[in-house]
């Protein structure tokens, strides 16, 4: 078996793309999108029609509303390909607005359900700020499942689990990027700080019986992926899915519930003050969270500008 086939023995594979053709090629169970991936997709000839259709059919509505409908259109197309769930992201500019995030998430689910897609097949992606986590806690109680993204630290993960979030997406590659830049070192395999972060989170969740799913995300190379074999899910770009499918190097399970249960990790008690202090004390998490929000905000603005040109 190739590495992708071996990986699937231990982990659910998710496609990290807005490119439908890639999804068809690798047959993932779920798919994730974000503002950057949608922006990249609509600049391709194959997907421009979705953007043009969203603008044409909702011409009299706000740009915000057109984007919501565009995101849901992408999600619907993706769900024709994958048998599981699609993750659709809220506007990153709402990352520090609990009420705004709740309202936007409800609207996205309303649009999906109006189009005939049950909410069980949708994960609403929200940034792992304190405000985002509190929004997700409300939404989960309404049956709106959430995927907490831009997650770089254990306290962010613990807060999500205690809020009853369906799934978290700890970012491996961006953690790796930060440490590589700050130390000048190259990290490989189990020594990779991004890999270590996801392993800590997975171990903590399984040790203390949290039900929140852990989905490693933002990979830079296949070494990071195979080191997390056994993680609940891994969302992988088409380029790295291709590399995995071309290699027959062995893939062994690295994460398991049994090993997590035996780990001596202790329980951490979190309230808002402790959360903010712990995240603030982690320079990498603080910087990458802020940077990620800024980048997603910038791509939403670029998408708005594309829409305005078509109006």
**Helix, strand, coil percentages for the chain (3-state, nearest 5):** 60, 10, 30
Rounded CA gap, 194 and 185, in Å?
14
Q: Residue 165 class from Cβ within 10 Å (0-12 exposed, 13-18 middle, 19+ buried)?
A: buried
Q: At what angle do helices 130-141 and 154-162 cross, to 10 degrees?
A: 20
Cβ–Cβ contacts within 10 Å for residue 209, how many? 10
Residue 289 Cα distances to 92, 208, 224, 279, angstroms:
11, 26, 20, 10
Which member of 53, 61, 104, 125 is catalytic? Answer: 125
Q: Residue 282 class from Cβ within 10 Å (0-12 exposed, 13-18 middle, 19+ buried)?
A: middle
Q: Is residue 208 over pLDDT 90?
A: yes
Beta pairing partners, 129? none
Mean pLDDT of 190-208: 98
Q: Is residue 61 over pLDDT 90?
A: yes
Give yes or no for a contact between 259 and 39, defined as CB atoms under 8 angstroms apart. Answer: no
Residue 303 Cα distances to 33, 38, 55, 281, angstroms:
14, 9, 12, 34
pLDDT value for 122: 98
65-122 pLDDT, tens digit per residue, is 999 999 999 999 999 999 999 999 999 999 999 999 999 999 999 999 999 999 999 9
Model confidence at 182, pLDDT cuts 50, 70, 90, reads very high
Q: Is residue 176 over pLDDT 90?
A: yes
pLDDT value for 39: 93
pLDDT value for 234: 98
Residue 242 Cα distances to 4, 17, 20, 229, 246, angstroms:
9, 13, 15, 17, 6
Give yes or no for a contact between 147 and 166, defined as CB atoms under 8 angstroms apart. Answer: yes
* Global confidence as pTM: 0.96
The residues, any chain, with a CB within 8 Å of residue 202's CB and separated by 6 or more, are: 214, 231, 232, 255, 260
Rounded CA gap, 255 and 244, in Å?
19
| Strand 86-89 versus strand 30-32 pairing type | parallel
Supply the CATH number for residue 178's domain. 3.20.20.70
17-37 pLDDT, tens digit per residue, is 999 888 999 999 999 999 899
pLDDT value for 21: 85
| 141 is a catalytic site residue | no
Minimum mean pLDDT range among 34-48, 113-127, 176-190: 34-48
* Residues of the domain holding 38: 3-310
Q: Is residue 239 over pLDDT 90?
A: yes
Model confidence at 311, pLDDT cuts 50, 70, 90, reads confident
Domain count, the chain: 1
What is the 8-class DSSP label of residue 139? H
Q: Is residue 292 over pLDDT 90?
A: yes
Main-chain phi, psi angles of 147, to 5 degrees: -120, 110
Main-chain phi, psi angles of 234, to 5 degrees: -135, 125
């Amino acid at each position: 078996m190739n590495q992708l086939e071996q990986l699937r023995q231990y982990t659910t594979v998710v496609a990290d793309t807005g490119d439908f053709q890639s999804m068809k090629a690798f047959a993932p169970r779920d798919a994730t999108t974000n503002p950057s991936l949608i922006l990249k997709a609509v600049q391709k000839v194959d997907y421009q029609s979705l953007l043009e259709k969203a603008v044409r059919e909702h011409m009299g509505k706000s740009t915000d509303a057109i984007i919501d409908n565009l995101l849901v259109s992408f999600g619907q197309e993706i769900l024709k390909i994958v048998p599981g769930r699609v993750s659709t992201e809220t506007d990153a500019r709402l990352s520090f607005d609990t009420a705004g995030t709740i309202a936007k998430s409800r609207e996205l689910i309303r649009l999906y359900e109006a189009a005939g897609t049950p909410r069980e097949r949708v994960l609403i992606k929200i940034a792992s700020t304190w405000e985002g986590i509190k929004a997700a806690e409300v939404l989960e109680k309404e049956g709106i499942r959430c995927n907490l993204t831009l997650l770089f630290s254990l306290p962010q993960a613990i807060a999500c689990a205690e809020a009853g979030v369906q799934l978290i997406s700890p970012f491996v590659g961006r953690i790796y990027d930060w440490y590589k830049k700050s130390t000048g070192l190259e990290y490989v395999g189990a020594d990779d700080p991004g890999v270590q972060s996801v392993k800590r989170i997975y171990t903590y969740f399984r040790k203390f019986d949290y039900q929140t799913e852990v989905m490693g995300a933002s990979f830079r190379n296949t070494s990071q992926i195979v080191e997390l074999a056994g993680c609940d899910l891994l969302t992988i770009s088409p380029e790295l899915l291709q590399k995995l499918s071309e290699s027959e190097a062995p893939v062994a399970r690295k994460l398991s519930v049994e090993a997590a249960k035996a780990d001596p990790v202790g329980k951490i008690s979190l309230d808002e003050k402790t959360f903010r202090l712990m995240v603030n004390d982690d320079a990498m998490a603080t910087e990458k969270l802020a940077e990620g929000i800024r980048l997603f905000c910038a791509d939403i603005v670029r998408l708005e500008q594309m829409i305005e040109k078509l109006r």
